[in-house]
A and B are shown apart, each in its own frame.
Chain A
Amino acid sequence: AQTVTQSQPEMSVQEAETVTLSCTYDTSESDYYLFWYKQPPSRQMILVIRQEAYKQQNATENRFSVNFQKAAKSFSLKISDSQLGDAAMYFCAYRDYTSGTYKYIFGTGTRLKVLA
């Protein structure tokens, strides 16, 4: 079964600095999608960035970028120029397609604290 592991329960970063959140996953599929979601205190799930496995190029969305290492099954999120509003829980997710339907498998999350 596919699994998603986030080994950092909590991370801290100084405002304006860069932080990297780690995620590893396990799958036997060759084509799939990976996502990072942000969950602020309101608990709404906000899509930060997506990566298609067959694309070699790492996805980038403004200050957010990923380091996707397919062979290592690693999918880390880099946040540059961290802002106070980036403080939230961050979940890594794998889009699974077993049983003929898509479903998301989430990691346990990393709580990011941004220090002023």
Chain B
Amino acid sequence: EPEVTQTPSHQVTQMGQEVILRCVPISNHLYFYWYRQILGQKVEFLVSFYNNEISEKSEIFDDQFSVERPDGSNFTLKIRSTKLEDSAMYFCASSDVPPFTTPSSYEQYFGPGTRLTVT
């Protein structure tokens, strides 16, 4: 069964450094998402991406964040200058654009997450 993959599984970085989190969505999916989960809290939407541009972003997704699809398979989240409060689990998700609606249409498939620790 196709799945979303994310690398690395755990990233440790120092405050002020730039990090890039990588995701490989399911191959025929066209919508891509990033979510964040601070330890002990709920999962929060960060950004959605379609047709090579951001389609929606949350208040959390400020100027230090950016997303990119550098090639036909990867989808990345860059944090320009990390802060302690960026420490969290980051989930990538993808969904399809089906020719007709089925029960699983537009359903988001989540990757295993990248644990980011900022020290």
Contact = CB atoms under 8 A, between A and B. Distances in A.
A50 B42 contact: no
B107 interface: yes
A43 B114 CA distance: 10
Contacts of B42: 91, 106-109
Contacts of B50: 101
A101 B89 contact: no
B113 A104 contact: no
Interface residues of B, number: 26
Interface string B80-112: 000000000101010100000001101110101
B43 interface: yes
A102 B37 CA distance: 18
Given A44-B110, A50-B103, A101 B56 contact: yes
29 contacts: A33-B107, A37-B110, A43-B89, A43-B112, A44-B113, A45-B43, A45-B110, A50-B103, A50-B104, A50-B107, A52-B103, A91-B42, A95-B106, A95-B107, A95-B108, A99-B56, A100-B55, A101-B48, A101-B55, A101-B56, A102-B31, A102-B95, A103-B33, A104-B43, A104-B45, A104-B93, A105-B45, A106-B42, A109-B42
Interface of A: 33, 37, 42-45, 47, 50, 52, 91, 93, 95, 99-109
